[in-house]
Chain A
């Protein structure tokens, strides 16, 4: 595997104006693709993939359920049940493809948008909603499903992933790690430092960049003048750009990258070329900075429609299957809705509960002060 490069002539673009050549937008020949937007299987010489009809149906189910969960969360935010939601709409294939490429001993370090990866790691979707509802700041046990807490500071988790991978090497284990991040994070010092550490220590980590074209309002051209996957070459490891809306290509490329990493060959950068169909979060208004034509163009590349088209064309799934998945997604939506609405607020003393793992006199003192203060109200309740 070599780092691919283009000899495409560069033309100068005005600052802030997306220049397709500079950001690699439209550099379609570089994309690893195994399933066209029309739903046709294509082969890639370096990334062969054999999937059974059952596996294809299972991936379809993942994609639909993840999108349904995401839509439900967006609705719940609109209803006031969540304070914020960061939608993954459009990025389902990148997340499900990479998530399903992982083995049980592998470890994922997510941003705050990896709901599809969490799904693949068997993390209860309701666990993801605690922080968006404001009842905790994550709260799940990362080691239970090898899925780290969501990280909001952009790019910080890539170093945690790399350190974890360094530990795998020390243990002599054959696990591997995926560090998720986005096109915006590619500018962060931490991401670049993690590339340095991972390369010099030859750590088993796959850097999985979902290039969804937008870092809130900033297009990829504000972050880079070369396609992001080519950043890897400067750090001395392979970089691959994959069609991020093609679940099969994401599966094949990530599986290859994880095996590359776990077999002692060091890190890989995978750039999943995709699109954030929705807003950055429910607090964002993308109509202020991007054209609807662009979004419409990406709709035609929808990750779910193309797999559905494939299943239908090849006769690999019947109406009953699609109806069954639809019914399951309704059930999931209901479970999420009810789960969020009945999610209790924490006791205020949660504030003091886990600041330290060992006793700390100041925390104990302030807890006692608060409890005495709360008890001083009539009925002993103060909220």
Chain B
């Protein structure tokens, strides 16, 4: 897999490898067959693995996840695609009340090795319900694992790891980065639920995941010109969260800023701020700050740039953190 791959292609290759390595792996979703998915993530897979393993489903999200649960009970390892973030809510009962709790309700007698892939986040100029970040709902739900890659290497390996997991994994794909290219290495390098420092620094820790990692890297680059050395941590896993890695970073820098597209209020940043305050209280030079979406429905695309955190909003928060 040497060479530069787009995130989309890296995901496609991951699905291909998973289909090859385990005959029980099946893909399910709307338009994932001949079309290859609306983002082409499953491009060519039905042709190579057949309609029996790459299944075009009726347009019913609850049905997709619910039948995936039944397939898992029969010994299959379903990977389902929800076409867009805003379309997952019809499947909410099946994900939150059925899938997440099944292992516990059965006292461990059954496993639910199901991966729910969801392209998430904004910045693509889409109509409504195509740009949302709903990770907090899923991370809030015990029984689910939630991850989001930010680059091609992680997209590939984290998806393979998610599919191999015997627990249900909500796999959030940063759709606006689908066409960003990067090197995909020969091995995963990290376990699925580890965070990674993607840019070392000393003054402030920026914590991000999925599409916001790139924004934070660009912010750190810009800040360097002002003599500020920002560390960027790619969270990668939203449940569980690698607090040990975050703690190590924040204790060094004394300042932390969480950046996500999702609304700040009760978003993942709230939990990160609370936990980091508990863990790093005597090391903090400033409160943990949060940069994210507003408490408003995701806006029409002509104003989404206002809603989405960008380099300037991140640097504004850096100024505030350093002013303490």
Contacts and interface: CB of A to CB of B under 8 A. Distances in A.
Interface string A139-181: 1111110001101010010111111111110110000000000
A109 B102 CA distance: 14
A194 B58 CA distance: 10
A76 to B, nearest CB: 22
Interface stretch (A49-57, A207-215, A262-270, A358-366): A358-366
Contacts of A286: none
Contact of A171 (B70, B74, B97, B193): B74
Contacts of A171: 74
B105 to A, nearest CB: 4
Interface stretch (A33-41, A85-93, A250-258, A349-357): A349-357
A200 B103 CA distance: 29
Contacts of B63: 159, 162, 190, 193-194, 196-197
Given A142-B73, A156-B93, A190 B66 contact: yes
Contact of B165 (A141, A144, A189, A358): A358
Contacts, number: 146
Given A194-B66, A362-B241, A167 B106 contact: no
Contacts of A361: 193, 240, 243
A278 interface: no
B73 A356 contact: no
Interface string B67-88: 1111111111000000000000
Interface residues of B, number: 46
Contacts of A161: 70
A148 B109 CA distance: 11
B88 to A, nearest CB: 14
A57 to B, nearest CB: 35
Centre residue among A141, A143, A159, A190 by max chain B CB count within 10 A: A159
A58 interface: no
A196 B105 contact: no
Given A137-B101, A156-B98, A159-B66, A354 B108 contact: yes
Contacts of B66: 156, 158-160, 162-163, 190, 193-194
A153 B66 CA distance: 12
A357 B108 contact: yes
A80 B102 CA distance: 28
B143 A356 contact: yes
Contact of A356 (B67, B145, B241): B145
B62 A189 contact: yes
A193 B70 contact: no
Contacts of B60: 189, 193, 196-197
Contact of B69 (A141, A160, A357): A160
Interface string B9-34: 00000000000000000100000000
Interface in A82-134: 109
A159 B62 contact: yes
A146 to B, nearest CB: 10
Interface string A256-282: 000000000000000000000000000
Contacts of A158: 66
